[in-house]
A and B are shown apart, each in its own frame.
Chain A
Amino acid sequence: MPDPLSTALSGMIAFQRAMEMTGHNIANVNTEGYSRQRAEFSTREGQGAATGYIGTGTKIVTIRRVYDDIIGQQLQASTTSHARFEAMNELAGRLDTLLADPATGLNAQLTSFFNAVQDIANDPASLPTRQALLGEADGLVLRFAELDRQLSAMDAEVNQRIGAAVGEINQLAEQIAELNEQITVGRARTGQPPNDLLDQRDLLVRDLSGLVSVNTVMQDDGSMNVFIGSGQSLVIGNEARTLATVPNEFDPTRSEVAFVSASGQVPIGNALTGGRLGGLLDFRGQMLDPARQSLGETAQALAASFNEQHGAGMDLYGNLGGDFFSIAPPAVLTSSNNSGSGTASVTIDDVGALAAGEYLLSFDGTNYSLTNADTGHAVAMTGSGTAGDPFLSDVLAIVTGGAPAAGDQLLIRPAADSTATLARAIDDPQAIAMAAPTRTSADLANLGDGQITASEVVDQDDPGLLATAVIEFTGPSTYSINGAGSFAYVSGDPITVNGSQFTITGTPAVGDRFTLEANSGATGDNRNGLKLADVQAIGILDGGTVSINESYGRLVANVGSATRQVQANYAAQGVVLANAENAQLSKSGVNLDEEAANLVRYQQAYQAVAQVVSVANTLFETLLAATRR
């Protein structure tokens, strides 16, 4: 026969447990990752009698945590995306401001450099003005170097952050593995889910997904396996694997993430996506590298085009202009995996044809081949790679050397590393070539009214460029050059002699003479200066369509719009994450009002069953009194 006392007692115990659980819920209202817990009540087995089954009270079957796996996974996924854009957003914003700020950007300095060129063109003989151009050139070089230094610093920071993220991943993996063990043991011992440990593990996995995109698989024993990248296992049961940062095969200053396995460290490169680590890698690959490359191209274009025009002019000493700027040739990086000792020296053939940030030169045992490292497409080359007959692609001229082994690779970075090497190559203000190298004149004794235009250099490499040539009219429509030959004269037709071009107009008389000669002593000539000032506006890059100024403007716009996209994505992912968090909290979070109501409920129930004890006691006493005689 059921005992009302023990029936009541079961209720008292159950409700006391439930109140303890409510207290636990209330106490954890602010605990991150905590899922509210519910007591599952169930009736105790009734005792059968002739009159029917009579219940024996209540019991708590289990304490269940209110948690939804689907919502949990959504939260994980949105944490991954959000963290990725968060990492990108912060760095992109800094890059964006760095490039555009008038105090740090390149534009103001470029403009004042070219304005200084015009200032000399106004008074080419003035040494102070020439000195000022050298100063402006230093300012420009310094600005390039400073920008490059800032970008390098960001690169170094990205390396550091990658290292830190890898460290955190390793720590989290270890903690998850440890919790896996505790959970498995706990479950096995009691047969009940260790709710608070599960919450902790879910929180750790969430933290991990903030660092890198993860996949989780639940096991029957309650442990959770965690995979990253393209299916590499990070946690299996109570075993955690580790990641490490290793230097890049070609560029030791660049950190890459590698998986530590029994056979060594295997770089996993681009397999890691999402999370802070993915965001860092994306920022480096999609924003920082292109920015450095673009800046390097601008520097290469400036040096190449300004030097070329400068070489077509004549300085105050009467010499053809030397290089105004110096800049390092493309960097050639040797793979640490190479077994041979192959080397290459590379020059840029046509800076306007640069199509990739990096090129890969591979040796297959007999032949070299070149590929665009960004796209992987093959790049055609002619030549044999010797100094006399270098490999020529549309962009690069490559001279190979050393003893390469089959499978060896060299990475060619045409522009990105050259920004910092830009320097002024001229120290002497008088060596600035503002004058054209040749001049023309009409003999003052000429009888005809023939006029000669100023000469224009069309081939600055002509060996006879600075030689004197006398055009003498041997007839009304014929002339000789230096007394030799007879050429037909047509008024206004261009005449090219010794690499210089000019025209004669009008009707020269027989015997009239015109002279083309080296332009020595022309301290006031600014013809080359005007062309130097134009260098900033002529198309050089991208097949001769983008000028130096535009190239920097394009960099600013590219970084700006990439940053804008990142910001928009970051904001969108913020909303998605907030929604997922709300869904999660809505499901699992503690509501204090609810707990207060539960407290009242359990208290009332407790008081009621306590009353049953009292009634049972009265019944018992009644029975005792009835039998006391």
Chain B
Amino acid sequence: MRISTYSAFQRGLDMMQRIQAGLDRTQQQISTGRRLLAPSDDPIAAARSLELRESLARIEQFDRNGEIARNRLNFEETALVSVNDVLQRVRELAIQANNDTQSAEGRRQIAAEMRERIDQLVALANQRDGTGRYLFAGTRDTTAPVSVAGGAWVYNGDQGQRLIQIGEDRQIPDGDSGADVFFSVKDGNGTFSTRAVATNSGDGVLGPGSVLDPAQYDRDTYTIRFTAPGSYDVLDSGGAAVTSGAYTPGASIAFRGIEVTLEGSPAAGDDFVVEPSRNRDLFGIVAELAGVLETPADDAAARAALHNGVNGALADLDQAIGQILDVRTQVGTRLAAIESQADTNASLSLTIQSTVSGIEDLDYAEALSRLSIQATTLEAAQQTFVRTQSLSLFNYL
């Protein structure tokens, strides 16, 4: 083939420029540590890497969300532990006061302490998290949830629960509304409650009772009426007799799937009421207990009224303690869920990071050996160029 002098020159030059361009690219890759310098180097990988980076940023946000939820739940847990302590103390005091050897003065002092404990409970219910939001106000978290109005405690929050996104498909509540924690304590044994009528003249003391067969219990209000000191009728809310029997102290009275136990000796005409549980507030329960203790108990009937009152209140108190425990269990479950989600997020994020690195990052060993090959090639091309360009017939003319 005929070679023109110009093209021999130009071809050598082009060759060197091409190698230099490759060398420059390798150099850029090495100095940035990136295999892909522009999306066009590998468009699919570029789009994929955008998606992955986006996922990474989301996971980071989920971790941050989880941290905030964890913080709030820890606040809630601390508050609930204190509430539990207070309730346990109130329970101890109640049992202490229920003792017949306790003097009227002693009961008054106990009642006074209980009233102070109520204030403590209200303060706990109105506690805020570190950023000034009320913990137990539902989603109305800038309103103090509990206030006193006319001797009763009122809930000012709502029943909402805020969910926090802690994983791609996982949301977790970061608290519980005060309505659920403090204002929905089912009284009695949780299904029904029992009480002695205040005008009773005997000293019958009614226990909290229990459910035998939930299917038979129809949530009606029943009255156990003593027709004589040794016999009773059980009447439903319409006044119709459900059952009747002879009274033995300590033996259970069963009807409509439930049973209650009566001690002492009720007088004829004494009434005991069994009614479905209602939601009560924790503060009211303690206040009622204090009220019972403040009532003088001089004779047997009054003492029976005291025992009935304290028994009823103790049952309510146990419900309250159980309720707090339930909530604490849920909080613990949520904290564990956050923990496990954080682990999942961490391993997910590690996987994604290594995928991103596989897509984007440079294999340095390969790049460095490529660099040295390119450098060698360029040198060879330069030497060849100089040698061939110096060849000319004119040198010999």
Residues of A within 8 A of B (CB): 29-30, 36, 92-93, 96-97, 99-100, 105, 107-108, 110-112, 115, 118-119, 121-126, 435, 439-442, 444-447, 454, 509, 519, 521-527, 530, 533, 549-550, 552-554, 556-561, 563-564, 567, 578, 581-582, 585-593, 596-597, 599-600
Contacts and interface: CB of A to CB of B under 8 A. Distances in A.
Contacts of A592: 5, 392-394
A220 B5 CA distance: 34
User: Would you call the interface of chain A mostly helix, strand, loop, or mixed?
Assistant: helix
B141 interface: yes
A118 B163 contact: no
Contacts of B155: 444
Closest 6 A-B residue pairs measured CB to CB? Answer: A589-B4, A560-B39, A560-B43, A524-B141, A557-B47, A563-B40
Interface in B169-186: 171, 174, 179, 183-184
A600 B394 CA distance: 10
B183 A557 contact: no
Instruction: Pick the most buried of A123, A519, A586: most chain B CB atoms within 10 A of its CB.
Output: A123
B148 to A, nearest CB: 16
Contacts, number: 200
B164 interface: yes
A509 B38 CA distance: 67
A93 B38 contact: yes
Contacts of A123: 68, 131, 133
A591 B2 contact: yes
B54 A522 contact: no
Nearest to B177: A441
B167 interface: no
B46 interface: yes
A452 to B, nearest CB: 8
Interface string B1-33: 111111100110010000000000000000000
Contact of B131 (A126, A447, A550, A554): A126
Given A522-B140, A596-B397, A582 B162 contact: no
B213 interface: no
A587 B46 CA distance: 46
B56 to A, nearest CB: 9
B276 interface: yes
A560 B47 contact: yes
B2 A587 contact: yes
Nearest to B275: A447
B256 interface: no
6 contacts: A441-B179, A447-B278, A522-B139, A522-B140, A556-B43, A556-B50
B137 interface: yes
A593 B143 contact: no
A597 B47 contact: no
A93 B38 CA distance: 8
Contacts of B64: 118-119, 122
A590 B6 CA distance: 7
B158 interface: yes
B61 interface: yes
B365 interface: no
B312 interface: no
A557 B392 contact: no
A581 B7 contact: yes
B14 A454 contact: no
B347 interface: no
B139 A100 contact: no
Nearest to A99: B39
B368 interface: no
Interface string B243-270: 0000000000000000000000000000
Contacts of A126: 131
B57 interface: yes
Contact of A523 (B6, B140, B184): B140
Nearest to A102: B53
B227 interface: no
A477 B161 CA distance: 27
A156 B7 CA distance: 38
Given A523-B141, A591-B3, A596 B392 contact: yes
B291 interface: no
A554 B43 CA distance: 10
